[in-house]
Structure formats: structure tokens, C-alpha cells
Amino acid sequence: MKKALVVYSGGLDTTVCIPVLKEEGFDEIHTVTVDVGQPEADIEQASERARLLGTKHTVVDAKATFASDYCMPAIAFNADYFGYPLSTAIARPLIAMEAARVAKQNGPFDAIVHGCTGKGNDQFRIEFGLRQHAPGIPIRAIIRERNWTRSEEIEYAEKVGAPIAQSKVKIWSIDENLWGRSIEGGRLEDPSFEPPEEIFQWTTSPERAPDESTIVEIGFQCGKPVALDGKSLPALELIARCNEIAGMNGVGRIDMMEDRMIGLKVRENYECPGAVLLIAAHKALEALVCAPHERRFKQLVDAEWADLVYKGLWSDPLFEDLTAFCQQIQSRVEGVVRVKLYKGSLTVIGRQSPWALYSEADASFDDASFDQNAMAGMVQTHGMSSLLFSRLKEK
């Protein structure tokens, strides 16, 4: 008996994999959907389609783990890949790990199957995670193997009677989790096309946002947001609430040109209101507590971390090294940040911390405790090599 496990979203790409496997002689097919904050309707649709297709279906509720073990580190590293808060990327290692766990529990399996195409980044992220957590089990990518276009997938699904009614009429390709929504496909592939308002679900347009600003206060401990407006909240609830608050004020829309791992440059649209808010607040607090050399080096660390996460290399040795450095910094990222949200804009208007490397007395223009005369010698030696270079050029 041949057994396969499909990492199943319920969408077109993963749905057509199931009849293909049956045609290839797989007698028993399991499906697993990992819930990292998708809409409940999507989870229910996946379960119903799995039932119609005759698979043994499992839903894994990983929302709390995703919030605490993936979104929180993303905040600590001010997660940003050329303007993208890595909302889709940070979910893939967790999905792969949970799928591998289900494979071990219900196996042995002759194959683990995913629905990634050969053009995207997820094929790298998912397969790396599966090879790490379920070594030895062959990995199949049906869409990539058959080199199918979306139209060809739909044609095949109609021929075999696969349940794809919603996918057929769906204009946009949407991936959603707790940390953000990605929207692509259709006319959005044209970089000159203005995204229509219909693609947005989490964010109000700035024009329709409230006429009064919203001020939110975020409390941090060890680099993690732990309180909202003075109320302590678990990670999952806090992120969800930040999505609501920032989204209603039109904050969190991202329209960017993204360089995929295989070299393709593509236009991507994201809604990440909570991520944008929390990362901005975290960066403001880091700026208050970090020494100048730390701040400069932390920017390099953040960029390296984002690059590894974008590629799905969550367990790379450098990833562990960067994490160790970041944890040392985060032990002092404690305090409160106040942020003003207004019609698509976000402004940090206050920050305080017991670890603040700031002296109001020394910084104030109205305080005489700082002896300004002591700076004369330092100023005279500033830029000596630059001055010498200028004089040599003049000669």
C-alpha cells in the first residue's frame, strides 16, 4: 500500500495534487492543514474539501506557537526584507515542522507532497523544513513536476471533478496568517497598476480612516511586546489586537518590488498592520537603550537574519549565532512606547525605559553641568585624514 501526506491549504494547487496521487497508485492519502492564523472559513473549506476528496485529514492549531516562537523573534530582529515584514516567510518553517510531526505520527509515508510552484520561494522553505524534520521521506511537488499553469490546473480539476469552484472564480492569490496578508496575481502583476480597494481586508484606506488620531501604548519586556495600553496580553491576542488598531487607521499597506530567490523580480502587495506597528515601536525602544556601536551592528544582524528567514533557513548555524547576539541586546529592551496612528501614518511620540542611555541634563541646552570647553581639543582633531586628503588633492 502506497501512502502520501499532502501539506494541504485547501486551495487549487494543493487540491489538484490529490487526484494526481490517486492516478499514480497511492492507496491512502492523508492531508494536514496547519492553522497559523488563516480565516476560519479557509480552515473549514480545507477540511470540507479533504472530506470530499476522501483523505484522512488533520488540522493542527499552531496559532499560539506561531505568535510566541515566530512573530516575537521577528519583532526582536525588526524583521524587514526590503520593506517586507516576512509575514509569509516566517510561517513556512512552522508549517513544515508540524507536517513532519504528523507524518511521523501517522506514517510511514512513501511521500510528502506540497503544492508549491517552481516560480516561488515557498518550494525552498517548505522542502528545507521537511528535509530537516522528516529526513528520508521523498518530497513531491506535483505542480512543479507537471509544469502546470493555473489554467491547466483548473482544466485538470474540472476533468477529474475536484472541488475547486471558489478557486476558479478567485481573481487574487491570497496567503494569510496572523502576521500578515499577501495579495498577488491578476492585474497586480503589472507594477504600474494601482491596487484596487477590493484587495484589502485588514486595512481601511487612509481616506476613510477616522478623522481623529489613535494613540496606543505598547509595553515591552526583554524585547517582546507584553502589554497594550497598560493591559498585559498573551502574544496571540496582542498581535491580533494590533492588527485591528493599526488596520482601522489605514496603517500597514505595503506595495513593493520583491526579488525572489530564483532571480525573478515580482510585484507584491501586503497588509501587515500589526507587524508594522510593533516593529516600529520596538525599533524606537532599541534606539533608546542601545549604545551607538550596538545600534550599527544590530542593523547588520537584522538584515542577515531577515535574509536567512526569507530563504527559510530557520536552523542555519548563523541563525543561531544571530539569535544569541540578539537575545543579549533584548535583555535591556524594556519599557513603554507611545505611537500615534492617523490616516495611514505612524509616528512614535514617546518612549521610556529603565535602561535608557539618555541623560536629560547632559542633552539639554539649558543645563550647564556639561563643560562645553572640554570639547575644543576633540573638535580640532576631528577629520584630520580628510583634511590632509583635501590638501593633497588641491596640490
Active site members: 13, 92, 122, 173
Vertex 127: Cα angle to 126 and 130 (nearest 5): 90
Contact 14, 84 (CB under 8 A): no
CA 256 vs CA 100, 131, 276, 280: distances in Å: 33, 31, 15, 18
Q: Quick check: 221 and 336 in contact, CB under 8 A?
A: no
Those residues whose C-beta lies under 8 Å from the C-beta of residue 107, and which sit 6 or more positions away, are 3, 5, 137
- Give the whole-angstrom CA distance, residue 96 versus residue 112: 10
Take residue 298 and report the three cell numbers written for it. Answer: 544590530
Map grid coordinates 535602561 to a residue: 355
Nearest to 17 by CA among 93, 108, 126, 91: 126
232, containing H or E segment: strand 231-232
The position carrying cell 501604548 is 217
Count of CB atoms situated within 10 Å of the CB of 50:
26
Closest-CA residue to 12 (of 140, 180, 120, 170):
170
